[in-house]
Amino acid sequence: RHLAAQREAPTRTCLLGPGSEVWLPAMEWEAMEAMEAEEGESTGSAALLTDLMAGYVEGLMQPLPLACKTAFAVLRQSQGEKGANPDQDYEGSYQFSGERDEHAGYRRFWPDFASLSAAAGFTDWVERLYGPLYQQAITHQEL
């Protein structure tokens, strides 16, 4: 929604969670498109929105190995963030249930983190669909 809102006008988005508040900055749609055209790259709002829509369409055709909390834990771990534990986020522990227990498809297709992370395209999907949001969130966090 954040990227789609940018198409109308530069819009800041606030994500609220228990004990946290994360602001995503406005993105200049036209400026990003102009820069992409000059540089021949696709890294701005339009390209991100296109990637998200492609992921959405792909997800309609087959289940994607994308558990949101686990994906962010993978990204946090790749940045060396202390306490990031994707397998525990996915599988749970004796103190809390994991993300696989929140969705019947996760348990059926990927019963544990090893099978999820070994699924075709897992790392690519995590980086393509959640990576840009993660980078925006860690760069512009206001707590």
Say how far apart CA 93 and CA 140 lie, in whole Å. 31
pLDDT value, residue 44: 65
Q: What residues have CB less than 8 Å from 70, skipping those under 6 apart?
A: 86, 89, 90, 99, 113, 116
pLDDT value, residue 142: 41
- Residue owning tokens 């995590």: 126
Task: Enumerate the β-bridge partners of residue 6.
Answer: none
| pLDDT per residue of the chain (143 residues) written in tens, 0 to 9 | 776 777 777 788 887 777 777 777 776 665 555 555 555 555 566 777 788 888 889 999 999 999 999 999 999 999 998 889 999 999 999 998 999 999 899 999 999 999 999 999 999 999 988 888 787 766 544 43
pLDDT value, residue 41: 55
Contact 73, 84 (CB under 8 A): yes
pLDDT value, residue 143: 38
pLDDT value, residue 39: 52
Say how far apart CA 20 and CA 72 lie, in whole Å. 15
> Which whole-number Å values give the CA distances from 82 to 33, 87, 104, 118, 127, in the listed order?
36, 14, 30, 23, 19
Element (H or E) spanning 24, and its range? Answer: strand 20-24
pLDDT value, residue 127: 92
Which residue from 94, 90, 95, 84 is spatially nearest to 112, judged by alpha carbons? Answer: 90
